[in-house]
Structure 1
Amino acid sequence: MGMGHDKNKVSIVIAHYNAGNYIRKALDSLVRQTMSQDDFEVIIVDDKSTEPLDIIQGYECKIKHLRIIVEEQNHGYPSIPRNHGIAKAHGTFIMLMDQDDNLADDTLLTFYKFAGNDSDVIIGKYAEGKMYNGTQVPFRSGTNIKDANIITDHILSTLAPHKMYRRAMLNQYDIRFPDSSYIPVEEDQVFNMKVYSASRKISILADKDYYYWNQRRDFGNLGKSLSYTYNEPWKYLNILSEVFNIVEASPNWSLLQQSKLKAMYIGRPFNSSYTNVIEIIKLQKNEQERENLIIGLRDIINERMSSQSISEVGQESRWMVLGIKHGMNYEELSLIEAELSSG
Structure 2
Amino acid sequence: MIAKYKVSILISSYNYAHIIEDTFESIKNQTFNFEDIEVIFVDDHSEDNSVEVIGRLADEFDNVKLYHVPEGQKGVSYPRNIGIEKATGDYIVILDADDRLDSMFIEKTYKEITENDVDMVKTSFFMGFDKKISYSQNLGRVVVHPEDVSVLMSSYNYLEPWATMYSRKFLIDNNIRFSIVHKYYEAFLFSIECICKTNKDIILLDNYEGYYWNYKLDGLHNVDVTVEELDNTIECFTEMFTLLVANKQPINCIETFFPFALSLCGSGVYNSTASDFEKASFLCKKAFNLDYVEHDE
Residue ranges of structure 1 left out of the alignment (5+ in a row): 218-223, 300-326, 330-343
Residue ranges of structure 2 left out of the alignment (5+ in a row): 293-297
Cα separation, partners in 2 of 1:45 and 1:10, compared to 1, 3 Å: same
Q: Percent identity of the aligned residues?
A: 23
RMSD: 3.2
How many equivalent residue pairs? 278
User: Using the alignment, how far apart are the partners of 2:25 and 2:81 within structure 1?
Assistant: 24
Residue pairs, 1:42-61, within 5 angstroms: 42-52=39-49, 53-60=51-58
Aligned to 1:78: 76
Deviations 1:155-206 (A, max 9, x none): 6532112121111111222111111xx3111111111110111122211113
Question: What SS does the aligned partner of 2:40 have?
Answer: strand
Aligned to 2:295: none
Q: Once the 2 structures are TM-superposed, how far is the Cα of residue 208 of structure 1 from its aligned partner?
A: 2.8
Instruction: State which of 234, 239, 251 in structure 2 corresponds to 1:237.
Output: 234
Q: Is the 8 A contact 2:69 2:78 kept in 1?
A: no
Higher mean C-alpha displacement, 143-152 vs 169-178 = 143-152
User: TM-score normalized by structure 2?
Assistant: 0.81
Query: Partner amino acid for 1:171?
Result: I
Q: Once the 2 structures are TM-superposed, how far is the Cα of residue 98 of structure 1 from its aligned partner?
A: 0.3
Q: Once the 2 structures are TM-superposed, how far is the Cα of residue 288 of structure 1 from its aligned partner?
A: 4.6
Question: What SS does the aligned partner of 1:57 have?
Answer: helix
Query: Partner amino acid for 1:17?
Result: Y
User: Using the alignment, how far apart are the partners of 1:21 and 1:193 within structure 2?
Assistant: 33
Aligned to 1:29: 26
User: Using the alignment, how far apart are the partners of 1:238 and 1:134 within structure 2?
Assistant: 32
Cα separation, partners in 2 of 1:165 and 1:296, compared to 1, 3 Å: same
Q: Is the 8 A contact 2:153 2:256 kept in 1?
A: no
Cα separation, partners in 2 of 1:235 and 1:283, compared to 1, 3 Å: farther
Question: What SS does the aligned partner of 2:19 have?
Answer: helix
Cα separation, partners in 2 of 1:201 and 1:298, compared to 1, 3 Å: farther
Q: Once the 2 structures are TM-superposed, how far is the Cα of residue 241 of structure 1 from its aligned partner?
A: 1.7
Q: Is the 8 A contact 2:27 2:34 kept in 1?
A: no
Aligned to 2:193: 194
Query: Partner amino acid for 2:197?
Result: A
Aligned to 1:266: 258
Runs of 4+ in 1 over 6 A off after TM superposition: 130-135
Question: What SS does the aligned partner of 1:266 have?
Answer: helix
Cα separation, partners in 2 of 1:233 and 1:37, compared to 1, 3 Å: closer
Between Structure 1 and Structure 2, the one with more strand by share is: 2
Question: What SS does the aligned partner of 1:60 have?
Answer: helix
Q: Is the 8 A contact 1:47 1:73 kept in 2?
A: no
Aligned to 2:211: 211
User: Using the alignment, how far apart are the partners of 1:126 and 1:233 within structure 2?
Assistant: 28
User: TM-score normalized by structure 1?
Assistant: 0.71
Q: Is the 8 A contact 2:15 2:48 kept in 1?
A: yes
Q: Once the 2 structures are TM-superposed, how far is the Cα of residue 233 of structure 1 from its aligned partner?
A: 3.8
Residue pairs, 1:1-343, within 5 angstroms: 5-52=2-49, 53-60=51-58, 63-73=61-71, 75-116=73-114, 118-129=117-128, 136=135, 139-141=136-138, 143-147=140-144, 150-152=149-151, 156-157=155-156, 158-162=158-162, 163-179=164-180, 182-199=181-198, 200-215=200-215, 226=224, 232-250=229-247, 253-254=248-249, 257=250, 259-268=251-260, 275-283=263-271, 285=274, 286-297=276-287
Q: Is the 8 A contact 1:231 1:283 kept in 2?
A: no
Q: Is the 8 A contact 2:233 2:265 kept in 1?
A: no
User: Using the alignment, how far apart are the partners of 2:70 and 2:282 within structure 1?
Assistant: 37
